[in-house]
Chains A and B, each alone.
Chain A
Amino acid sequence: AQSVTQLGSHVSVSEGALVLLRCNYSSSVPPYLFWYVQYPNQGLQLLLKYTSAATLVKGINGFEAEFKKSETSFHLTKPSAHMSDAAEYFCAVSDDGNKLVFGAGTILRVKS
Chain B
Amino acid sequence: DAGITQSPRHKVTETGTPVTLRCHQTENHRYMYWYRQDPGHGLRLIHYSYGVKDTDKGEVSDGYSVSRSKTEDFLLTLESATSSQTSVYFCAISRDLNYEQYFGPGTRLTVT
A-to-B contact residues, CB < 8 Å: 4, 9, 32, 34, 36, 41-46, 49, 51, 90, 92, 96-105
Task: Give the interface segment out of B13-21, B66-74, B76-84, B95-103.
Answer: B95-103
Contact A43 B100 (CB under 8 A): no
Contact B102 A104 (CB under 8 A): no
| CB-CB nearest in chain B for A90 | B42
Contact A43 B98 (CB under 8 A): no
Distance from A98 Cβ to chain B, minimum over Cβ atoms (Å): 5
Contact A97 B42 (CB under 8 A): no
Say which residue of A45, A51, A98 sits within 8 Å of B48 (CB atoms). Answer: A98
B-to-A contact residues, CB < 8 Å: 4, 31, 33, 35, 40-45, 48, 50, 58-59, 90, 92, 94, 97-106
Contact A98 B42 (CB under 8 A): no
- The CA-CA distance from A104 to B41 in the complex, in Å, is 5
Overall SS of chain B's interface? strand
Complex interface: chain A residues within 8 A of B59 (CB): 101
Q: Contacts A32-B98, A44-B90 given: A105-B106 contact, CB under 8 Å?
A: no
Complex interface: chain A residues within 8 A of B58 (CB): 99
Contact A90 B43 (CB under 8 A): yes
| CB-CB nearest in chain A for B94 | A98
Complex interface: chain A residues within 8 A of B103 (CB): 36, 43-45
- The CA-CA distance from A4 to B42 in the complex, in Å, is 10
Contact B45 A100 (CB under 8 A): yes
Contact B102 A98 (CB under 8 A): no
- Of B35, B102, B103, B104, the most chain A CB neighbours within 10 A belong to B103
Supply 21 A–B pairs (Cβ within 8 Å), ascending by A. Answer: A34-B100, A41-B106, A43-B4, A43-B90, A43-B103, A43-B105, A43-B106, A44-B43, A44-B103, A45-B103, A46-B100, A46-B101, A97-B99, A99-B48, A100-B33, A100-B43, A100-B45, A100-B101, A101-B45, A101-B59, A102-B43
